[in-house]
A and B are shown apart, each in its own frame.
Chain A
């Protein structure tokens, strides 16, 4: 019996020592698992993004390279998410433009959950009739926020103030020398051709109207705007006027054309003049 008491006591003391050891390493372990939970959420979010969001926001999240479900390259309809305006600073630039008072995470999460009314950004959360569970919304939110990095946030982008009227722009230093050859290239690299097709080939357009005759048609769309003014406005604010006919029926409102070109072309403002020269010179 004495032996048993000794064995029992030793086992008990060992257990206590092990527990003591466990307690000592606990703070480090806890933070390790908190990070792991976040890491795994980001991984799950990456899968969700790849399957649901990349068609509009681009495979790298910068809205430059988008594919439809058949694997063909299409124009990106979404805003860039791997992007200074969405992720850098607090409040971020985007939060400011939309008067968002909550946190950055809530901004992204709410946008994903509820979609954005008046744009093609869909509703995603089950709560609002979308397809995703709350945990999936959280996963993809974590993934989007994970694009924030020192590199991305090192330089604030130059924001170009587009003049109200096309004429003012065309008269400025940036707008005066349009190069149609370069415009033809930009028409492809900005992804216009993905939706509007080849300007030399009527009927090659998949999503938006064919632009081969926009130099004429543009004069008739909106009262008081000539073709240059109309194309200028169509690029900067697609929702200002919705074209009646698209290849697959009446054009949808809100416009399927992304509202991001104002910002994207703004980092290289002479591109606008080149595009105009290309489209109108045709």
Chain B
């Protein structure tokens, strides 16, 4: 186990994109410009629900400086996009389903002219009552948002006889939890540059988490072959799942092809908030019972997910939530039912944690309430119910042996923070109360059973003498390039200058699947494991022919291939560049993310685990909650790139802090009331604990050769319930809704009575 914090991380940071970013020299895709470019802009519906009758673009078209105004009639292929189900129209035809729905797009000489043209587009529409909650959308007679009705997806998982199981329960807790419409809040809003090429093809420079998926989706919209489209998709100014789906790409592509000119689009924050994806708000009812030994005998869950106007990944997110509503615990009887319901509330989609964050808040909340009720200490209660190494997974599926939950549980026992008194009140300022809470979670890696989860990569020796690793993954800040570099250095014992990392460009990289679901690091690790031996064999064989030294006596090293003797490096045989002249040395691999053999949709095979201890302070004058400490334990296999690992946990944790304390896209009648960063609040440097100690449990069960699990999401999944418990310890108030409403925490009784009519002393 290693502790990653303070300055103990001495390995240094060699992230390849570091200096360019620190100096502001890195060009993002929204920074690109091209001679002769036009400026694209999208006309959004601006109303949440309506029958669209007509879009009048004549005046806009006539405006000097306007080169194109496009509507649904101008989409040559499929007028829709969506990773799982392409039911979001590129341009609306007859039904407006949310404020951000696109009805037209313009290309003009300047951003100002494009904006002026948008203002001249008239939308003739008949407003409909907004379906502003799943409850409204489920009412009989509610307008159908899609042909299949208003239910996008349902899940059902049953294990053992739940109805009977209640009889064995001594303590039962039933509660309904609600979670907010969190925004990804990537600092770089959506945009890019779209270039029609001379050979008739199209180059798209726009952020995405899966270039090949964008290529497929755009080809479908344009009615083209995928090979005609090149997607350049990195670097990215943040994504967190939010840029996995298409956003401005359809408009940029159509406008560029229509005008034959380069088109630049960069959405404003306001447009980004109104049009972009959010985390699914979920209403989660849980009823959970303990038997007299403190074992969870019965667990019933209903999940109602507000998926917004279109499908995107609403189904898979619900699936994930269903599995994680059981999580790391073994239970007697279980019934989980989930529904993802269409509404007019924007569009909910993929977001770091993928539906786990919501149900983990609820599940851990149940354990804390049951601990209270039964008198079994909360941490002890968890231990009694945690899965063991060889237990099946949450959906009773076969999983890789996994002791992560118990490992992190043990580590918490040793934490000094956890040993502090659970609550206290300030003597000088009696309105300040403190509390400590802890929670635990297990989080699946990969997309789960039934969802294509392909991986692949290529290793090449380039003519200029570099070992090139090419992956179809993306760099959005998570440090993928740095992790890849570290792994390459480990494999080849060479220098940074000997390697080349190629990502984010469909013309240069093989398909590798998406950069989501905490899978990229693991996929690259596995791909390298598979490719390196074969690649080295090819290389050494070629060098053997040239040098006469047997291949078995060779190893790669700084600058080239060395002769080895007894494990130590002798003379340089050939430089990489010389070796590259001998033969074409390329190794490619494609495979599938490890998946459970049991055909249970959404079931995972690999998991990471985490526990979080937190201390909060509540100001009972205002109900403000300040997180003073957050200590994390993470079991996710080996640490490839320490400062990157640490950064993922710190960043994920602060995102969870925002989710818990302040972030929510407030909708009134399906109209967004928090359209910019002055009303949609994200944590500042003053809202966060400065140091968040992170302990990494690196041990994996014997025989586990799946490599490091990703840690992109796990830092964000377990803080909310820990804060909720700490708030309870401090104030005695249980919170079921996030973000925590300050109004319920205002409490003047303690210090008012202390001072009533008397001098204090």
A binds B: no
Interface residues of A (CB under 8 A from B): none
Interface residues of B (CB under 8 A from A): none
